[in-house]
Amino acid sequence: MPLPRLIPCLDVAAGRVVKGVRFEGLRDVGDPVELGAAYSEAGADELVFLDVKATLEERQSLVELVGRVAGELAIPFTVGGGVRVVGDAASLLDAGADKVSVNSAALARPELIGELAGRLGSQAVVTAIDAAGGEVYSHAGTRPTGRRASEWAREAEERGAGEILLTSIDADGTREGYDLPLTTAVAGIPRPSRRDDRNRDRARHVADVLEVAQAALLASILHENPERLSSLRSELRELGVPVRDAA
Amino acid sequence: MTKVRICDYGAGNTRSVEVAFRRLGVDVAVTSDAASVLEADLAVLPGVGSAGSAMDELRSNGLDGALRERVHAGQATLGICLGLQLALEESEEDGGVEGLGIVPGRAYRIHAARVPRIGWARVDPGGAAYYFAHSFAADTTAATAHSEGIVAEARHGSFLGVQFHPEKSGPAGARYLERCLSPA
């Protein structure tokens, strides 16, 4: 198995990185180009960029911003937000993205995943899933779809998605740890028995989710201090998680 | 200044490769012109996507001949990911595709727990971790390094092929590309 990955996630609205709690109360936390460069430097295993409100309605401005972030990176780069057709994805890859993430458009028309995989290869296709209470929500978490997250993840994989990018709306931005029941359901594996629930620090939260997922997305606990990524990496190694030596 | 030319054949993450070499301070350009590929100090065949359409594109630009000629003449040539697979004699992708035949062997669909195999993995000898993203891999007698039982690097004459993406592998990847520029 490849090594567990730590992936900072830049939620972008109107060209700025934002972060809220449970998808609400978004506040400005920085510039995507500066944060991207800082994370690449600090040893991130990958970077995710999601245009969360498809605020960059004009595709060209999104493509330009993606190109500027990509120019700062020496690590894999996943971009999502408003991808509706293969052409949208291709222009993001041309700008320097390595993978494209789809969400609402794939829920509306699941064939999109197969079309993207056929043209770009499964390794470039990520299906992002936002879920609350085990149910998938579309349109940046605003519309319930009636689908179970675990079932949609399986379908997306069968249709050609190389990876699933899972966000729990319930846990988003709370800094209280990952949604392990949701993650284990989507990963399709039994939930590991948790040890002491109290006094679990941030590194322990990340270690917990890396027992079931191949990667952990990080946002709230990092954006104020991207260099925290280096110390997090050492703490995880002390906990026995075999993260990459990023030097 | 060392001249690096990256083959553009519509199946590449050419931009990432270009950015990575530019950081190393070399004269780098992306081209679909066979003549420029022939005169470069280092030619790079990047690639993501499917083998069948990639080979068609290489042939339509005459890049297939240029790459074979380089290796025949002992000029340094680097294949990345699909670029390594295309250099082999054949690939079982897309129902069977004839490759460039620069390196003995064939590309097969991998049997890992998860396919595509995506993520950072150790490469031995050396033990450094690099980023992989692939569904096919090389079966070749020219292998010089492995990762979890998969061929990570192969050398045949002046051709060097890697299954991982050095251009996406942080400082370790940059050091790898630097070594490609100044072979010992």
Query: Are A215 and B169 inside 8 Å of each other by CB?
Result: no
Residues belonging to chain A with any Cβ–Cβ distance to chain B shorter than 8 Å: 1-3, 5, 40, 43, 45-46, 70-71, 73-76, 93-96, 98-99, 119-124, 162-163, 214-215, 244-247
Overall number of domains in chain A: 1
Domains delineated in chain B? 3-181 (3.40.50.880)
Give a yes or no: residue A244 inside a domain: no
ipTM: 0.92
* Nearest residue to A8 (alpha-carbon basis) of A77, A103, A54: A77
**Nearest CA-CA distance, residue B82 and chain A, Å:** 11
pLDDT higher than threshold 60 for residue A197: no
Q: Which of B81, B93, B134, B153 is catalytic?
A: B81
Dist. CA B3–CA B20, nearest whole Å: 14
Give B48's contacts (C-beta < 8 A, 6+ positions apart). Answer: A98, A120, A121, A123, A124, B11, B12, B13, B81, B82, B133
The structure's pTM equals: 0.94
Q: Residue B11's pLDDT is what?
A: 65
* Residue pairs between chains A and B whose CB atoms are closer than 8 Å: 90
Residue indicated by tokens 């260099």: A227
Measured between alpha carbons, how far is residue A99 from residues A124, A203, B170, B180 in Å? 4, 27, 17, 26
Query: Are B174 and A70 inside 8 Å of each other by CB?
Result: no
| Rounded-to-10 torsion of CA A133, A134, A138, A139 | 40
User: In this predicted model, what pLDDT tens digit does every residue of A63-79 receive, in sequence order?
Assistant: 999 999 999 999 999 99
Q: Residue B13's pLDDT is what?
A: 76
B residues 101-160 near A, CB within 8 Å? 113-122, 129, 131-135, 148
* Nearest residue to B136 (alpha-carbon basis) of B79, B84, B70: B84
pLDDT higher than threshold 80 for residue A54: no
Query: In this structure, what CATH number is given to the domain that contains residue A207?
Result: 3.20.20.70
Residue indicated by tokens 């894999």: A76
Query: Are A2 and B121 inside 8 Å of each other by CB?
Result: yes
Give a yes or no: residue A245 inside a domain: no
Q: Residue A57's pLDDT is what?
A: 62
Give a yes or no: residue A246 inside a domain: no
Give a yes or no: residue A130 inside a domain: yes
User: In this predicted model, what pLDDT tens digit does every residue of A206-237 receive, in sequence order?
Assistant: 999 999 999 999 998 888 888 899 999 999 99
**B67: exposed, middle or buried (C-beta count within 10 Å: 0-12, 13-18, 19+)?**
buried
* Nearest residue to B8 (alpha-carbon basis) of B43, B51, B50: B43
User: In this predicted model, what pLDDT tens digit does every residue of A116-145 receive, in sequence order?
Assistant: 998 888 999 999 999 999 999 999 899 999
Give a yes or no: residue A58 inside a domain: yes
Give a yes or no: residue A247 inside a domain: no
pLDDT higher than threshold 80 for residue B94: yes
Give a yes or no: residue A223 inside a domain: yes
Query: Domain range holding A113?
Result: 5-134+142-238
Would you call A238 helix, strand, or coil by DSSP? Answer: helix
Give a yes or no: residue A124 inside a domain: yes
